[in-house]
Amino acid sequence: MTIRSRFAPSPTGYMHIGNLRTALYEYLIAKNAGGSFILRIEDTDQERFVEGAVDVVYETLKDVGLIHDEGPDKGGAFGPYIQSERLPLYKEYADKLVDLKGAHYCFCSAEELEEKKQAAEKQGKAFKFDDPCKHLSLEEARERIKNGEKYTVRQTIDPFKKTTFIDEVYGRITVENKTLDEGILLKSDGYPTYNFANVIDDHLMNITHVIRGNEYLSSTPKYNLMYEAFGWNIPTYIHLPPIMKDAHNKLSKRNGDASFQDLKAKGYLTEAIVNYIALLGWNPKTEQEIFSMEELIKNFNIQGINKAPAIFDIEKLKWINGVYIRNMSLEDFHKKALPYYEKAIKRKLDLETLSKVLQPRVNVLSEIIDLVDFFDEMPDYDLEMYCHKKMKTDLDITRKVLPVALELLQDKKAFESLEAMHEALMTLPEKMGLKNGQVLWPIRTALTGKQFTAGGATEAAYLLGQEETLARLKKAIEKVG
């Protein structure tokens, strides 16, 4: 059997992290077995449709390297791949399901349903719609349709039976049918609900493996009742645990949690995001944490998917992103850093050297701005910054160090290279009988006015150049008195 998985997003906005993880797992499961990965756009909920959202799907999948084998933009043997273009199919199969007694026509209005729901709430009862229309004969129902009455198609469920299915993550699950709602499958406007369309499309597109969030576990028995009514093979189910922002709250775009696009805008690398998302719910059963796409395809397996929720840890993502940054070539890092330099630096600097200084120190590209903004404008800073317990330095030591550094850096040779600057400054501790930190921290503070910057005193002095370095040292000497 050739594995066929599908990513079927609704075009309702940006690419949520949970959606991207689902797409990634679907892709990896298919490609690990040499199968096909299909893209289908589920746009039947017209009220939630967002203009441009389909393009976001295409762009994101291309960006992260999840190349689909079939889809709206590529075609294939099972199209069309956009649900709104498949409406006649849903009507055809809804009528067939009615004939097979797996569904019925319902003529109840939305107002009637709302009245019954409110009546149940007043009585303190949970509302479960018991559709009187399911007792109509098929002939009578179709005559009413012929006469122009508005109708929906609802699923018909035998409340006296049980439904059992196997999920590859959660195992064997049995549900009593009496707990299942006889939901709408085809709306009065001819559009299918998700619960119906995904069954029809998955069957007609020969989907063998259905991967989705575990919030759909409770609906799966209803899907299986439709498969059974049609006499179709049931796909392999893989339900994924939720991604949580903390122990109690799910990661959700409704709560403003980061999307893939947000993370990219904040300076996270595509490869690092994909690597991290792969680990949100999957255990490779090894110590390895950094995976290329090729390694993920080779190593990914269903058995490694966890039941427990995964907590989105931004610090872990930062660490992984930092590993990817340090594994880049200097040339590639420099290209990635240039847009951030353009935002933060107007002064003429040796930007290639700056990249060489930054690459080992940056975990997220957006950190660059805060690390380099002192080059253009010296920030205001409190004299207490000169007092650093770890460096064992204070204002008295600062008053001794800065004039000596000013004299030393009158020599242009110190500015010929980073190495020359390092050698020059490292003569001071021995000369003054002080530790390295006691000398370098005051110089660094005088030049940057910040605790965290691109490099230390050596890098700051070299990159600022002689004229600016001497000017800042003179100001600092006046400031400390």
Tell whether 144 and 106 lie within a shared domain: yes
Task: Count other C-beta atoms under 10 Å from residue 198's C-beta.
Answer: 23
Instruction: For residue 123, give the 3-state DSSP assignment.
Output: coil
> Are 452 and 336 found together in one domain?
no
**pLDDT of 42 above 80:** yes
The predicted-structure confidence for 418-474, as pLDDT tens digits, reads as follows 999 999 999 999 999 999 999 999 999 999 999 888 889 999 999 999 999 999 999
345, 385 contact by CB (below 8 A) = no
Whether 362 and 223 map to the same domain: the answer is: no
Give the whole-angstrom CA distance, residue 240 versus residue 219: 14
How far is the C-alpha of 451 from the C-alpha of 241, rounded, in Å?
Answer: 41
C-alpha distances (whole Å) from 197 to each of 91, 92, 94, 156 are: 10, 12, 10, 16
Residue 49, domain member (yes or no): no
Kindly state whether residues 364 and 454 are assigned to the same domain. Answer: no
What global pTM score does this model have? 0.91
CATH for 157:
3.40.50.620
Of the listed ranges 28-32, 216-220, 377-381, the least confidently predicted one is 377-381
Share of the chain residues as helix, strand and coil, in percent rounded to the nearest 5:
50, 10, 35
User: What span, in angstroms and rounded, lies between the C-alpha atoms of 321 and 353?
Assistant: 22
Q: Last residue of some domain: 348, 375, 402?
A: 375
* DSSP run (H or E) holding 37: strand 36-39
- Check whether residue 90 and residue 176 sit in a common domain: yes
Domain match, 127 and 161 both? yes
pLDDT band (50, 70, 90) for residue 257? low
> How many CA atoms lie within 13 Å of 6's alpha carbon, on the beta-carbon side?
27
Spacing of C-alpha 269 from chain mean position: 12
**What pLDDT, on the 0 to 100 scale, is given for residue 237?**
98
Between helix 270-278 and helix 314-327 the angle, nearest 10°, is: 130
Residues 367 and 416 in one domain: no
Q: pLDDT-derived band of residue 3, with 50, 70 and 90 as boundaries?
A: very high
* Amino acid making up residue 43: D
Q: What is the mean pLDDT of residues 348-363?
A: 95
User: Is residue 68, in this structure, part of any structural domain at all?
Assistant: no
Q: How far apart are alpha carbons 255 and 277 in whole angstroms?
A: 19
User: Among the three residues 313, 344, 375, which one is the final residue of a domain in this structure?
Assistant: 375
Q: Of all residues in the chain, what percent carry a pLDDT higher than 90?
A: 85
Domain end: 187, 206, 240, which one? Answer: 240
Is 345 domain-assigned?
Answer: yes
Instruction: Specify the range with the lowest mean pLDDT, choosing from 107-121, 167-181, 192-206.
Output: 107-121
Amino acid at 246: D
The answer to whether residues 10 and 43 touch, using CB atoms and an 8 Å cutoff, is yes
Q: Is 392 a catalytic residue?
A: no
Is the same domain home to 346 and 212?
no
Residue 340 lies in a domain: yes
98 and 200 together in one domain: yes
Please report where in the chains the tokens 């690092």 appear, as a residue.
Answer: 272
13-17, 98-102, 290-294, 308-312 — which is least confidently predicted?
13-17
- The parent domain of residue 476 ranges over 383-480
The residue-averaged pLDDT of 408-415 equals: 96
Q: What is the pLDDT of residue 144?
A: 95
The pLDDT value given to residue 253: 65
Could you give phi then psi for residue 175, rounded to 5 degrees? Answer: -130, 140
User: Which of 91, 116, 250, 253 is flagged as catalytic?
Assistant: 253
Closest by CA to 226, choosing from 163, 133, 152, is 163
Report how far Cα 263 is from the mean position of its chain's Cα atoms: 7
Assigned domain for 47 exists: no
pLDDT cut 70: percent of the chain above it: 98
| For residues 168-197, average pLDDT | 95
Residues 96 and 231 in one domain: yes
Contact present, 424 and 397 (Cβ < 8 Å): no
Report which residue type is found at 102: G
Domain assignment of residue 199, yes or no: yes
H helix and E strand count, the chain: 20, 11
Distances (CA, A) of 183 to 43, 103, 134: 19, 10, 12
How many other C-beta atoms lie within 10 A of the C-beta of residue 327?
12
| Domain shared by 355 and 412, yes or no | no
Non-local (6+) Cβ contacts of 423 within 8 A are none
Q: Are strands 243-244 and 310-311 parallel, antiparallel or unpaired?
A: parallel
Residue 457 domain-assigned? Answer: yes
My answer on whether 466 and 412 are in the same domain is yes
In a domain, residue 319? The reply is no
Domains of the chain: total: 3
- Integer Cα distance of 194 and 38 in angstroms: 17
- Tokens 């409340």, residue? 159
